[in-house]
Amino acid sequence: MADYAIGDLQGCFNEFSLLLKQVNFNPSKDHLYLVGDIVARGPDSKACLDYIYQYQDSVSVTLGNHDLHLIACYLNNVAPNPKDKLTELFNSSKLSRYIAFLRTQPLALYLDQYSCFISHAGLNPDWSCAHAIQQAQFAQHCYSQSNARFYFKNMYQPHPLKWSEQLDDAAKFRYIVNYFTRMRFITPDNLLDFNAKEATINSQALIPWFAHPKIINAQHDLIFGHWAALKGKTPYKHLYALDTGCVWGGSMTLVELQTKQAFSEKSQLLSK
């Protein structure tokens, strides 16, 4: 019996399958935590969702920005961008089931047995783990309810610069999902920058979110994906960056949560 966390799949089903075989993943006794971005850009998003849906009792997903975009396109009847390679998925008779399943999945999880926080992009330094889970629960309530279309229509509006209880629910939703699914660099007072995507930046005005003192001194492990440019490397032992850019020609990475042993599978994609 083992628990694993795995980085962004982004439709790379062959590498996903090989990585599960490498650790002899057994869905009857093991559990898999995915850090989000199951779909988009890779060749077989449908196969990834086929597998996850089939073994959903053995899988937990912390939703990523591409997963939320998939739900938004579906609910608002918007054709996906061709570069996301989602045509086969949108033609599937099972798409509605996959969307319903994804809408039951959270933005963040805290695993007490491993003192471990998992989300797609990381942890807002302004939030404790407990508060972050509360924020994730608010957002999940928004996207799991019958009026979810309203929230997804508003998801792409400008990001609220500051949190306030006076924000309307749509703005609160947008604020929360942006930190959980789009965060990389932040300003010294923890405001998001949506432009910089590289691993480092020559700017005193921006720092990686995990360079904030509250994150550096955290007493728990943080597991995240989203930031492929890091290539799995962070300066702190309690941080695990699992997006190692499989869809861009890098690799797919998985970590066994008890031992923190890492496994990887090289990308089979020729183009980067």
Q: Alpha-carbon Rg of the chain, whole angstroms?
A: 17
What pLDDT shows up at residue 202?
77
Task: Give pTM, 2 decimals.
Answer: 0.96
Name the band, by pLDDT with cuts 50, 70 and 90, for residue 270. Answer: low
Determine the pLDDT at residue 271.
46
pLDDT category of residue 133 using cuts at 50, 70 and 90: very high
| Distance of alpha carbon 154 from alpha carbon 99, whole angstroms | 19
Question: What pLDDT sits at residue 88?
Answer: 96
Q: What b/e sequence results for 209-242 when a residue is b if at least 16 CB atoms lie within 10 Å of its CB, and e otherwise?
A: bbebeebeebeebbbbbbbbbbebebeeebbbbb
Residues 21-51: pLDDT tens digits?
A: 999 999 999 999 999 999 999 999 999 999 9
Q: Which structural domains are found in the chain, ordered by start?
A: 3-266 (3.60.21.10)
Res 189: pLDDT = 86
207-259 pLDDT, tens digit per residue, is 999 999 999 999 999 999 999 999 999 999 999 999 999 999 999 999 999 99
Mean per-residue pLDDT for 150-170? 95
CA distance 163 to 243: 28
What is the torsion angle, in degrees rounded to the nearest 10, for the CA atoms of residue 234, residue 32, residue 84 and residue 227? -10
Once rounded to an integer, what is the mean pLDDT over residues 144-170?
A: 95
Torsion of CA 87, 183, 177, 224, to 10 degrees: 80
